[in-house]
Structure 1
Amino acid sequence: MELALGILVEPGDGSGSGASGAAALARQAEAGGLDLVVVGGAAGSGAAGSSAAGSAPTAGLDPWTVAVWVAGGTERIGVGTVPADAPDAPPTDAETPVPSVVEKAWQSAALLVGPRFVAGARWVVAPAGAGRAELEALGADGLPVVVPVRDSDDVARVVDLAGTAGTAGRSGTGPRRTAVARALRRAGIDYDAVPDSLAATAVEPGDREYLGVSSNYLRGGAPGLVLRPETPQQVADALAFARAHTHVPLGVRSAGHGVSGRSTNDGGVVLDVGRMNRVEVLDEARRLVRIGPGATWKQVAAALDPYGWALGSGDYGGVGVGGLATAGGIGLLGRAHGLTIDHLRAVELVLADGTPVRASADENPDLFWAVRGAGANFGVATAFEFEVYDVGEVGWAKLSLVSTDIEKSLLRFGEVAGAAPRDTTVFLVTGRPRRGQSTIQLYAIVDSPDPQVVVERLTPFLDLGVLVQQEVYLTRYKEIMGQAADVGPDGHHGQGEPVSRSAFLPAMTPEAAHDTAELLRSGQVFFYELRPMGGAIADVPADATAFAHRTPAFQVTAMGVDQDDLDARWDRLARHTDGLYLSFETDLRPERLHDAFPPPVLARLRDLKRRYDPTNLFRDNFNIDPFDTDPFDTDPRDGSAVVRAAEEG
């Protein structure tokens, strides 16, 4: 039987000399081929046959600090801790650990130690004098077994007991993983069934790369497995694995920046297409380009710039192509050139059953309609073909103003932004007022190389408050997108869950400005953004794409710290709004789906979902359940009847 053995050291109980002594014992254990060293407190660190229990640190040494010290003195061996248990609620005394501090300590230790850090009590503690047979019995469930030690003689005895135990391999073509790493695997996932085509790049919780792929830009995550395909066939292989694991969550990730998208999860599978990031020109005369879903808009802008081209893409270059290009794409070139999806000419996807398809106006046109606004429900995009447009130098501005009357400023912004020529798109960002004053940030592109035109377009926006800082110049679109930070090999490190609400605003009326100002003055919203629409966005008929909200003046986003509180406050603004933009919505109540898609659109989408994803594999991102019944689709077998009824008035 494969047995993973380790040691449990108590730095405060006289073992060696504190942290240095623990590190020495750990090095001896590592040299002897053991798998794990657990750092505990002086007492109460667990009994035979049970997971290690919490114990208070002694001699001024907290277990996380000692664990990091031990990791610094070793190279291979896994490192775990036995921290003091934290209560569910904030403590009332000075000795009890504060939950948020305990969580941060765990995160810091994991970041410093890397994949060797064993989070949680993923081991079994044996009696100090246990023999080989007892150790094998304790390790029968596959968890590593740790033996308490006080000195080098104790460590030598455990090494002798280990025999040939220690490093274990894995079947298939994937990398070899230690028993400690395998002990971190999540329940419900058949790791030995990972397709051979994906095994070499798959990432598990015990792997060195795990911290870099577990979370996304804003959301903390702990997936059980991250699959990283590089070809459409590998995407199909990944989906075959997902179809065998519908009992765990499934996330699909391009660059991991989405606010609302479920590109990470807890204990599930993540399909990461980040390596499919090529940008190539297909037809220079038509300005037709092919873009992989894992590319960022920063990379796209840089690739298009030598040709004098651009493609509008939100307001941040670090966002991935895949998520935005299937949701809409309300960007800083929007009023001049429309949504990102308005320039999509074809998309290649792998459907839930593994079938590769191409969708365009001529091929699978119904799927092409659905992908432009609801793509996350229908397949995994492997390539996009866009017809981009000529864009030379543009005016780029970042303006900071201070307002003592945010209600008046919002109303004025609505007037100025709505009346601006379509070559001008200005986003407004604000948050909690402080001492009666609100800071307003304006981010603007004027699609003109003429400095005088840029100044003329921006001057009316100075009425919003007192200008305190400005940055205005002519530049290339690639330079604007290039301001986004590169995501290095360590990946994203988001924490917790973002709390965000979204809506479309037909007009910034005095009543809407008043109620929005009340929302901001509540202090519960730290980020509020108005994105003007209109212009070229409104040129496209509402029924041309699944993104049907073409006529509102603004898209609105608010972010807070508590979902229930934000929901209650945001719902009071519903009388002013119409619909929502999926990319910035974290409220998962069923009615949000009806806000995102008008009745005939949702009915048509549900009908297409029954055709292209009848088992509802793609269910973890604003799911359109193929057989759900709702007020707009009373017969789940025939959504088309509802569409016909709606079209007939």
Structure 2
Amino acid sequence: MTVDQIQAGTECGVEVGPGDARYPALRRGFNQRFIATPDYVSVVSSTSEVVAAVNKYLASHRPDEDLHRRLTVRSGGHCYENFVCGDDVGVIIDMGQLDGAYLDQEHGAYCVESGANNWHVATHLYAPFGVALPGGSCYSVGAGGHVAGGGYGLLSRQHGLTVDYLYAVEVVVVRDGQHAEVVIARRDSPEPELRDLWWAHTGGGGGNFGVVTRYWFKGLPQPPSQVLLHAVAWPWEELAGHPDRLKSLVRNYGLFFEYENTKELPASLRGDYSDMFTLLKLNQRANGKIGLITQLDATRPDSAERLNAFLDWITQDLDVETTPLDRRMGEHAPMGGLEVPTRLPWLTATQTLNGSGDNQCGKYKSAYMRRGFTEHQLDVIHRYLTCENYQNPQALLQVDSYGGAINLPDSGDTAVCQRSSVLKLQYQTYWSWQRDANGDGVADQHDAEADPSIAAPHLRWIREFYREVYQDTGGVPILAPTGGAADGEPDPVTDGCYINYPDTDLDDPEWNRSGQSAHRLYYGENYPRLQAVKAYWDPRDVFRHAQSVQPRTC
């Protein structure tokens, strides 16, 4: 096989270990639930330093020795589980210094290094070139994991997923189990093994096959020069005692995207809405409000008219006046000035939506939906958002619009198999350490270690909420069977889970009684091919975590 390689240097980057003033910050990510105690963190600034860092890690173990203290990789640090910052981590490779985003003339493609965050990518591709990666709105999410998991954002209904534009990926792999090498896998590589490695990075998830150092993209879209941005909220005081009001809003919201481009919608709503992306923020009652954020292409002369028609239809049974979205809702800051639809340049609007929330503890779950909500699901949603025994203004179910251009490829074209969904759900709850449980005079992670009851109510609420929403399918949002449901069996409205919102509860029989494993929920029929890629490129399982792709053994 012909591969692109570079000679490994002797420098492993800047190593930060215990006792260094930087160590407390570099051993954790965004989610403060998970704080590792690695032997050191390698802060790398080149591909050769990544190779050297991986080789140093491998050299510290015999070829037949179990790699019990894992090697992990952090780009933006937004992994929702302990995949990067777990208790069993020996070395973290920090990619934050590899943050370039530029036009690579040699490849004829736009290059994004894995440490570049969403905002850096947006500014460095749009200002000089007028193009954009249709990625997420949280500014500090790093490209390394975001792209590998599929990646989507407010431009995706109009232009597809980030991986739909992926041309090539540079990866540091350990093919022989003992030595690191650099390969560049292209969509059109002549060797099938390289094409498979490229394909695995179109939604196979980070931390599975090697260390991604660079991505290249071709055919990136031009975002609208201007967008219409709108944010409104409805007060819980007018919803809590009227379950039918909330349920009608959520029901109609789901049905709009299920019925999109069909005669089920009135004629006034049968136009092209693929440029519209929405985020419905169903906050727990303690927040005081629920909210809706909407973005449309403002270069279309009918954008305001279409927005109003959409709002009128989803609120037709609500009978509650809108108010400003004037408080934090999940990862988004207050947007009180957008109650009147506001025309903004695309980059300005992207900056307005830039949010990652506070550095707190969090738990997350996800679901794809192929149709709108069932009546059972609506009842459970209302009950958990209004329950009296759990009060948290930072707990919510966020429902994103999906579909459009995302659903144009086939399920096997990329490792992202969910190509028939119309909604994407993210269950979220956030909390802080709250109190000095261990009596040392301050609140920090040691208080959570001393008192598990700090996290317990938040974990219980989100886990039980999720399990009851999907009660009819074993507590999780199962994938539809290949070829359709069996005779007499209802066709599920759900379509699995998103690997970039990982959830280790999917492997726990207390919370998943569906018979579908986490790997099936994430990857569907694409999982065996991912296993084959893993077996070829990482047979020693150097790159692994609690839900990593397992090498196929037969």
Of 196, 203, 210, which residue of structure 1 is paired with 2:16? 203
Q: Does 1:356 align with 2:189?
A: no
TM-score, structure 2 as length reference: 0.71
Of 241, 247, 271, which residue of structure 2 is paired with 1:407? 247
CA distance in 2, matches of 1:458, 1:271: 48
Query: Which deviations, in whole Å up to 9, do the C-alpha atoms of 1:37-78 show, x marking residues without a partner?
Result: xxxxxxxxxxxxxxxxxxxxxxxxxxxxxxxxxxxxxxxxxx
Q: Does 1:251 align with 2:72?
A: yes
CA distance in 1, matches of 2:321, 2:17: 52
Match of 2:263 in 1: none
Q: 1:486 Cα shift?
A: 9.7
CA distance in 1, matches of 2:355, 2:284: 29
Q: Does 1:378 align with 2:209?
A: yes
Match of 1:555 in 2: 424
When residues 328 and 311 of structure 1 are mapped into structure 2, their CA distance, relative to the original with a 3 A threshold, is same
When residues 565 and 485 of structure 1 are mapped into structure 2, their CA distance, relative to the original with a 3 A threshold, is closer
Match of 2:221 in 1: 389
Of 50, 53, 77, which residue of structure 2 is paired with 1:235? 50
User: In the alignment, is the contact (CA less than 8 A) between 2:134 and 2:162 conserved in 1?
Assistant: yes
Q: Does 1:530 align with 2:361?
A: no
Q: 1:519 Cα shift?
A: 3.3
Match of 1:509 in 2: 373
Q: 1:588 Cα shift?
A: 4.5
When residues 293 and 471 of structure 1 are mapped into structure 2, their CA distance, relative to the original with a 3 A threshold, is farther
| Partner-residue secondary structure (3-state), 1:513 | helix
When residues 402 and 493 of structure 1 are mapped into structure 2, their CA distance, relative to the original with a 3 A threshold, is closer
After superposition, residues 450-461 of structure 1 pair within 5 angstroms as: 450=300, 452-461=302-311
Query: Which deviations, in whole Å up to 9, do the C-alpha atoms of 1:501-556 show, x marking residues without a partner?
Result: 11111112342323332332346581211111110000011110111001011111
After superposition, residues 559-578 of structure 1 pair within 5 angstroms as: 559-560=428-429, 562-563=458-459, 565-574=461-470, 575=473, 576-578=493-495
CA distance in 2, matches of 1:223, 1:483: 36
Match of 2:544 in 1: 619
Letter in 1 for 2:503: T
CA distance in 2, matches of 1:227, 1:615: 22
Q: 1:439 Cα shift?
A: 2.2
Q: 1:453 Cα shift?
A: 1.4
Larger radius of gyration: 1
TM-score, structure 1 as length reference: 0.61
Q: 1:458 Cα shift?
A: 4.6
| Partner-residue secondary structure (3-state), 1:236 | helix
For structure 1, the residue ranges without an aligned partner over 5 or more in a row are 1-194, 628-635, 638-649
| Partner-residue secondary structure (3-state), 1:389 | coil
Match of 2:96 in 1: 274
Letter in 1 for 2:229: W
Q: Does 1:605 align with 2:530?
A: yes
Q: 1:484 Cα shift?
A: 6.8
Q: 1:485 Cα shift?
A: 7.0
Match of 1:21 in 2: none
Of residues 323-332 and 589-598 in structure 1, the stretch that sits farther from structure 2 once superposed is: 589-598
Match of 1:301 in 2: 122
Letter in 1 for 2:20: D
Of 293, 313, 324, which residue of structure 2 is paired with 1:443? 293
Query: Which deviations, in whole Å up to 9, do the C-alpha atoms of 1:324-375 show, x marking residues without a partner?
Result: 1000112111110011111111111111341211112212111111111114
Of 276, 280, 296, which residue of structure 2 is paired with 1:424? 276
RMSD: 2.8
CA distance in 2, matches of 1:314, 1:517: 28
Match of 2:321 in 1: 466
User: In the alignment, is the contact (CA less than 8 A) between 1:298 and 1:478 conserved in 2?
Assistant: no
Q: 1:285 Cα shift?
A: 12
| Partner-residue secondary structure (3-state), 1:582 | coil
When residues 318 and 484 of structure 1 are mapped into structure 2, their CA distance, relative to the original with a 3 A threshold, is farther
Match of 1:584 in 2: 501
Of 148, 172, 196, which residue of structure 2 is paired with 1:366? 196
After superposition, residues 479-494 of structure 1 pair within 5 angstroms as: 479-483=348-352, 494=359
CA distance in 2, matches of 1:494, 1:433: 22
Count of aligned pairs: 425
Q: 1:584 Cα shift?
A: 1.6
When residues 522 and 604 of structure 1 are mapped into structure 2, their CA distance, relative to the original with a 3 A threshold, is farther
CA distance in 1, matches of 2:168, 2:147: 11
Query: Which deviations, in whole Å up to 9, do the C-alpha atoms of 1:227-251 show, x marking residues without a partner?
Result: 1111112111222233336221332
Match of 2:151 in 1: 329
Q: 1:450 Cα shift?
A: 4.0
For structure 2, the residue ranges without an aligned partner over 5 or more in a row are 1-8, 62-66, 240-244, 261-271, 325-338, 430-456, 474-492, 508-516
Q: 1:455 Cα shift?
A: 4.3
The answer to which structure, 1 or 2, has the higher relative contact order (CA under 8 A, 6+ apart) is 2
| Partner-residue secondary structure (3-state), 1:298 | helix
Q: 1:311 Cα shift?
A: 1.6
